[in-house]
Amino acid sequence: MDRVHRVRRSAWAFIPARGGSKGIPLKNIALLGGRPLLDYASRAALASGCFERIVCSTDHPTIAQRARELGLEVDVRPAELASDTATTQAAILEWLARQGDWELPEFIFVVEPTSPFLRPADIRLLLERFDADIDAVSAQTVALPPHTHHAWNQRRLEGGYVRFAFAERKAVNFKQEKPILYIFGNLLACRTACLLAGHGLFDEPSVGVEIERPYDVNIDYPDDMSLAEALLRAGMVDLPHMSPVTDLD
């Protein structure tokens, strides 16, 4: 008989940090502002004070070593869940299934190393809002996209010709204010019981907390890293949890 987990009122953080990356080799420990990328979101999670456990899931020994230096738990991800096609949700479910006698938490937060400008306050606020909404299945931060990225302004290029992707909708709203649309921000959470019951990480109802740009920067490609470096140098992001420099650096 399958063991039934009891779920109690607490939160764990799951940090997915595979070693494979096509855009930036070993992206999760590539240097940003002289520090491994993994440091940023991990330190935000540690400084938030929200988590009973913070676990880095990785298949790479160098990432695992850095995670331990930061004071994180390390879970060695199975090879079949370390490919480019493996999903974070599958990795979380496999990890939860191996928790032995641990009493599972009410909330699982997905803390992405690729969101370096995540702040402890973002985490605390999302947990507070999520905890207050008993009907919510998931929670996420969101941000406003640049004006030119709005859905009504998007185009298709087909056969060398450009046309609006949502021409009919744009025509209706041409003289009206565009509806406010958001993009994903920098943090995702779900109820453990809902995830185990088959819900997806973004299933609805999903609590939303708006964050301002440029804290939504996500690192996928080298130009994203260059942008993040420029923002750091220009002092356009405030990350007090990254200072002062400690012996971890």
Whether residues 42 and 160 fall in one domain: no
Three-state DSSP at 18 gives coil
Examine residue 83 and state whether it is found in any structural domain, yes or no: yes
Which residue segment(s) compose the domain that 47 sits in?
7-142+183-241
Based on the domain organization, do 31 and 18 belong to the same domain? yes
Q: Do the domain assignments include residue 37?
A: yes
Same domain, 156 and 108: no
pLDDT of residue 150: 80
The answer on 98 and 15 residing in a single domain is yes
- φ, ψ for residue 64 (rounded to 5)? -60, -40
The pLDDT value given to residue 2: 41
> Does residue 167 fall inside a structural domain?
yes
Give the strand pairing for 73-76 and 53-58: parallel
Whether residue 212 lies inside any domain: the answer is: yes
The confidence score (pLDDT) of residue 78 equals 85
For 183, phi then psi, to 5°, come to -115, 165
Among 229, 230, 243, which residue's Cα sits nearest to residue 43?
A: 243
Q: What is the pLDDT of residue 170?
A: 65
Q: How many CA atoms lie within 13 A of 105 on its CB side?
A: 18
Among the three residues 153, 181, 209, which one is the final residue of a domain in this structure? 181
153-203 tens-digit pLDDT: 888 999 998 988 887 776 666 555 677 889 999 999 999 999 999 999 999
The pLDDT score that the predictor gives to residue 1 is 32
In a domain, 249, yes or no: no
Low-confidence ranges of the chain (pLDDT < 70): 1-9, 170-177, 244-249
Tell me: do 216 and 158 sit in the same domain.
no
Distances from the Cα of 230 to the Cαs of 11, 33, 182, 237, in angstroms? 34, 9, 24, 10
Longest dimension (CA), the chain: 62
Structural domains of the chain, count: 2
Secondary structure class of 230 (helix, strand, coil) = helix
Strand partners, 116: none
Residue type, 16: P
